[in-house]
Amino acid sequence: KQEVTQIPAALSVPEGENLVLNCSFTDSAIYNLQWFRQDPGKGLTSLLLIQSSQREQTSGRLNASLDKSSGRSTLYIAASQPGDSATYLCAVDGGSQGNLIFGKGTKLSVKP
């Protein structure tokens, strides 16, 4: 059974710092991996989706990488801002319907 782990559960950094969030998964037979952002009291917003054949995806200050063989993905945030404060979740898609497994998230706090 696929398990998705995100460490640390919480992270606090000063504004302007570059940071990396980690996601690990136990079964490398994945279809894609998605990173989401969740603001307090809100739903999840998709940030980046990496297909299993890809190594990385970029959107603005965000870069997500995928290493299937080691069961790891990282989300790199450049020049962090207080507006980046949120919970970041990764989810691994096994390819079949209803087979998206979520990690429990990393709560990021960026201090001014």
Partner 1 sequence: NAGVTQTPKFQVLKTGQSMTLQCAQDMNHNSMYWYRQDPGMGLRLIYYSASEGTTDKGEVPNGYNVSRLNKREFSLRLESAAPSQTSVYFCASELFGMVNSPLHFGNGTRLTVT
Local structure of 42: helix, strand or coil:
coil
Which residue's CB is nearer to partner 1, number 48 or number 110?
Answer: 48
Which residue's CB is nearer to partner 1, number 14 or number 60?
Answer: 60
- Each residue 46-85 as x (binds partner 1 by CB under 8 A) or -, in order, gives x--x-x----------------------------------
Which residue's CB is nearer to partner 1, number 61 or number 104?
Answer: 104
Region of 11-19, 62-70, 76-84, 94-102 interacting with partner 1 (CB under 8 A)? 94-102
Count of C-beta atoms within a 10 Å radius of residue 30: 21
Which residue's CB is nearer to partner 1, number 15 or number 39?
Answer: 39
Q: Which of 21, 19, 26 is nearest to 8 (CA)?
A: 21
Binding site for partner 1 (CB under 8 A): 34, 36, 41-46, 49, 51, 89, 91, 97-98, 100, 102-105
